[in-house]
Amino acid sequence: MNVGVVGSGYVGLVAGACFADAGNRVICVDADPSKIEMLQRGEIPIYEPGLKEIVERNAEAGRLIFTTDLVAGVKQSRVLFLAVGTPEAADGSADLSAVLEVARQIGKAMDGYRIVVMKSTVPVGTHRKVSEAIAAQTGHPFDYVSNPEFLKEGAAIEDFTRPDRVVIGTTNPTAVAVMKELYAPFMRKSERIFVMDPASAEMTKYAANALLATKISFMNEIAGLCERFGADVDLVRRGVGSDSRLGHAFLFPGVGYGGSCFPKDVSALMKMGEAVGRPVLIVNAVHQVNQRQRKFFAQRVLEHFGEKCPETTLAVWGLAFKARTDDVRESPAIACVRMFLEKGMKVRAYDPEAAETGRAAVGGGITICRDGYEALDGADALVIFTDWPEFRNPDFDTMAQKLRQRLVFDGRNMYDPLQMAQRGFTYYCIGRPSVLPKEL
């Protein structure tokens, strides 16, 4: 099948590469010439495990093409996926200006029937706006499908090729049949396709992300109570997660959620509720807890050093909002590092993939190191923000030698508190009793 993907960012590039890998001819369109030139050279503008290999394989086979020519993309495709950015506007709502402009351009370029599929996360009701924008530019028939993505950064290829579910939002049986044909290669073991109306499909995406964000914020609230009462949130998490109705996923306390989805989608859902006079109180609380969590963690570091903050150097492990990605959008690490810098602290940071994107997000003022141990040189404490696998079992003797003080602030609960105390570290974590070497 001939497939077009408009927008070669995270979602569009993963979708285009995976559809091409299933044997389709895919043309990826993006308005950014530098990005297209990079992709044509075989360079990937984002870090996602396994993506580079799939792009290279299908580009060489001629099944995956990159261009800035939207008209060509429309004319050469039967199905057009829209994976255009919907950034958060100043008031917290989703900015649809780029989506609607692309819709108008598609309408102008159409020369026959097309299926237009919305892959971007868009507010409920967008299906009407996009359909009207296309119809205003063409007399050719088309079908609109809402097909929200459910990709986890760092595991996007697995999520796309072995999805938990595929949501198809359309009332036209013809469009349903085409979409099922496209997704058939990824459904060989079981059928996980849910067909519904476009509005319900749009809401499904927001409801899913808001519920996952709720689990994170709820567990962070419980972690705060555990610290006050001397309980261990890790034991609480295991006890709660063993309930089959709840499960273990997203019950890990930390410095809060970040990334391109949860913060933006939670804010958009809040604005949607306000717009129709039905404020979503739980979602508002989730947002507030998440903002407060990162402040609490940063404040713990700042309070420890007090008046000595301007004389303090911190080693920071991790700038990405999560492991296996270079994405620093809404990363708790970036927010906390900015707070440290405002107090005059020096920061030596290391991240396996997000070093330069992290430096740019902070706005400079930090030293980027080649590895985690270099970041420790001359540092008064280590602060951990991202749960990269290489941080899980470090050389603690080297850590002790390089740090001026054996002091660790762990925002991901990577280590066992008692073992850290036995190694001579003062160890602050999330929702578990902090330990001092003298306690043993």
Active site residues: 261
Could you give the residue ranges of the DSSP H alpha helices within 45-145? 51-60, 70-75, 97-109, 126-135
Instruction: Please name the amino acid found at residue 149.
Output: E
According to DSSP, residue 94 is labeled B
Tokens of 338: 């900015």
Please count the helices (runs of H) and the strands (runs of E) in the chain. Answer: 17, 14
Contact at 8 Å (CB) between 221 and 194? Answer: no
Backbone angles phi, psi at 328, to 5 degrees: -115, 10
Backbone angles phi, psi at 316, to 5 degrees: -115, 125
DSSP secondary structure letters along 410-424? ETT--S-HHHHHHTT
Q: Identify the burial level of 370 via C-beta atoms within 10 angstroms of its C-beta, where 0-12 means exposed, 13-18 middle and 19 or more buried.
A: exposed
Report the DSSP beta bridge partners of residue 146. Answer: 118, 169
Would you tell me the crossing angle of helices 281-305 and 262-275 to the nearest 10 degrees? 140
The three-state secondary structure class of 147 is: coil
Q: Identify the burial level of 193 via C-beta atoms within 10 angstroms of its C-beta, where 0-12 means exposed, 13-18 middle and 19 or more buried.
A: middle
Residue 91: CB atoms within 10 A of its CB come to: 9
Contact at 8 Å (CB) between 7 and 171? Answer: no
Distance CA 2, CA 92 (A): 36
Cα separations (Å) of 8 from 29, 136, 436?
7, 26, 49
Distance CA 220, CA 388 (A): 20
